[in-house]
């Protein structure tokens, strides 16, 4: 039996669960392709210096390090966006065309608390060269359509803006210590502590009002904007709100705005995000399954200048939360084909024809190993003079294999 070991959860997926996992990955790839994205890959090992020289990205202590035979420190791939951007910047200082890529790759981290290794599969997209509102909306709509494809039930995509809090911090002239403390309290929605902190900090009353309101700026676009209307926001902050509204209006055209929640307190730990940011949640999973945003300034770390936006799904969490997993795990074989030894060649030929049409089929010689025959939707029995199909407690006889195959294909077309 083929198994897959998930390092983080120390679990083993059996064959049926692996089948569900592969189906989810296939659906992800198909949906990404329908939006014009092409699959790419990055190296599993990267130079440690690539991340060590960049602050506000992957926590250096979470990286899994090794040393090659020249003494150079390497890390197992902790991220896909940074090495991909570096690769593009090496050949293009600017991008004058739209470049759309997707990937399904493993990333590796080590948690500070438990020191355990995490191997997670990420499925993501990266869109380079287009800084428009329409590109932002396309990315978010693609994420929403992907979640619809995977039948995850109710899902929510929280939409914020990296510059909203950054601009507030600049206008309030917050020290770095105060900035980090505000981030911690806002992310934790710790209202009492936030109020005590604002009572002590030496900033003007208008900025105290704005910062104190951040944890409450969550909900529908209409509700959030009604709250911001009465706040003493600067012209720059008002423009950020206008950018969010413009994206939301395009998302209405995509038909996914009902899944969008505005969260102006949304703060991402990756400091390279410069504009719109978002994260997604699904039923039955209490963790973020989707994270993304615009990172127009990231290429500048590699002496290039081009806009970019992207997101990544956590495939393992999608597998845990998708209804597709349960449907596929419980799905029996399409057919068990039992045959007399005298017609073995005919039986195997029929089985191959069914498999070529994407039916799941196993074969057994009739009256042998009966106790090992697994559950299936239907049983085909082939003898020298007879072909029968038993399904739904009814038995039907067919004159030959070709008629049977055509009937099965017709039944499948009718179901779909």
How would you write the chain as a 3-class SS string? Answer: CCCEEECCCCEEECHHHHHHHHHHHHHHHHHHHHCCCEECCCCCEEEHHHHHCCCCCCCHHHCCEEECCCCCEEEECCCCHHHHHHHHHHHCCCCCCCEEEEEEEEEEEECCCCCCEEEEEEEEEEEECCCCHHHHHHHHHHHHHHHHHCCCCCEEEEEEEHHHHHHHHHHHCCCHHHHHHHHHHHHCCCHHHHHHHHHHCCCCHHHHHHHHHHHHCEECHHHHHHHHHCCCCCHHHHHHHHHHHHHHHHHHHHCCHHHEEEECCCCCCCCCCCCEEEEEEECCCCCCCEEEEECCCHHHHHCCCCCEEEEEEEHHHHHHHCHHHHHHHHCCEEEEEEECHHHHHHHHHHHHHHHHCCCCEEEEECCCCHHHCCCEEEEEEECCCCEEEEECCEEEEECCHHHHHHHHHHHHHHHC
For the chain, residues with pLDDT lower than 70 are 1-16, 55-56, 112-116, 323-333, 368-376, 416
Q: What is the pLDDT of residue 261?
A: 97
pTM: 0.78
Check if CATH label 3.40.50.1820 holds for domain 333-415: no
Q: How far is residue 63 CA from its own chain's centroid?
A: 21
pLDDT per residue over 329-375, tens digit each? 445 568 889 999 999 999 999 999 999 998 889 888 887 556 556 66
3-state secondary structure 203-238: CCHHHHHHHHHHHHCEECHHHHHHHHHCCCCCHHHH
Q: What is the pLDDT of residue 60?
A: 77
Check if CATH label 3.30.930.10 holds for domain 4-326: yes
Q: What is the pLDDT of residue 8?
A: 43
CB atoms within 10 A of CB 309: 26
Cα dihedral 199→204→208→211 (10° resolution): -130
Say which residues have a Cβ less than 8 Å from residue 346's Cβ, sequence separation at least 6. Answer: 339, 382, 401
Q: What is the pLDDT of residue 18?
A: 78
Q: What is the pLDDT of residue 294?
A: 95
Buried (b) or exposed (e) across 371-409, using 16+ Cβ within 10 A? eeeeebebbbbbeeeebebebeeeeeebeebeebbeebe
Query: Can you give the residue ranges of every domain in the chain?
Result: 4-326, 333-415
């Amino acid at each position: 039996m083929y198994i897959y070991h998930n390092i983080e959860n120390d679990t083993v997926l059996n064959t049926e669960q692996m089948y569900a996992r592969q189906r989810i990955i296939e659906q992800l790839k198909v949906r990404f392709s329908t939006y014009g994205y092409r699959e790419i890959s990055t190296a599993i090992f990267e130079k440690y210096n690539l991340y060590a020289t960049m602050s506000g990205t992957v926590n250096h202590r979470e990286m899994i390090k090794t040393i090659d035979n020249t003494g150079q420190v390497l890390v197992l791939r902790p991220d896909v966006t940074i090495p991909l951007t570096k690769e593009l910047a090496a050949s293009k200082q600017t991008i004058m065309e739209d470049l759309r890529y997707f990937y399904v790759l493993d990333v590796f981290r080590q948690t500070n608390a438990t020191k355990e290794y995490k191997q997670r599969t990420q499925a993501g997209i990266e869109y380079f060269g287009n800084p428009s509102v329409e590109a932002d909306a396309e990315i978010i709509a693609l994420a929403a359509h992907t979640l619809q494809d995977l039948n995850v039930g109710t899902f929510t995509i929280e939409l914020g803006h990296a510059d909203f809090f950054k601009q507030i911090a600049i206008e309030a002239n917050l020290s770095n210590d105060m900035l980090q403390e505000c981030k911690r309290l806002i992310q934790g929605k710790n209202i009492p502590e936030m109020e005590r902190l604002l009572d002590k900090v030496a900033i003007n009353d208008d900025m105290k009002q704005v910062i104190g309101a951040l944890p409450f700026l969550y909900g529908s676009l209409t509700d959030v904007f009604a709250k911001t209307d009465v706040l003493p926001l600067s012209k720059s902050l008002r423009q950020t709100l206008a950018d969010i509204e413009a994206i939301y209006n395009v998302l209405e055209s995509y038909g996914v705005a009902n899944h969008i929640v505005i969260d102006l307190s949304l703060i991402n730990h990756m400091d390279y995000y410069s504009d719109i940011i978002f994260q997604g949640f699904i039923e039955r999973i209490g963790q973020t399954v989707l994270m993304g945003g615009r990172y127009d300034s990231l290429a500048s770390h590699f002496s290039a200048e081009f806009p970019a936006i992207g997101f990544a799904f956590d495939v393992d969490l999608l597998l845990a939360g998708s209804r597709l997993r349960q449907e596929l795990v419980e799905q029996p074989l399409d057919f068990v084909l039992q045959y007399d030894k005298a017609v073995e060649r005919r039986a195997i030929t029929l089985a191959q024809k069914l498999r070529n049409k994407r039916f799941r089929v196993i074969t057994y010689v009739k009256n042998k190993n009966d106790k090992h025959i697994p559950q299936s939707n239907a049983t085909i029995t082939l003898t020298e003079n007879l072909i029968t199909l038993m399904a739904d407690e009814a038995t039907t006889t067919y004159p030959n294999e070709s008629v049977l195959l055509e009937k099965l294909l017709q039944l499948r077309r009718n179901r779909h």
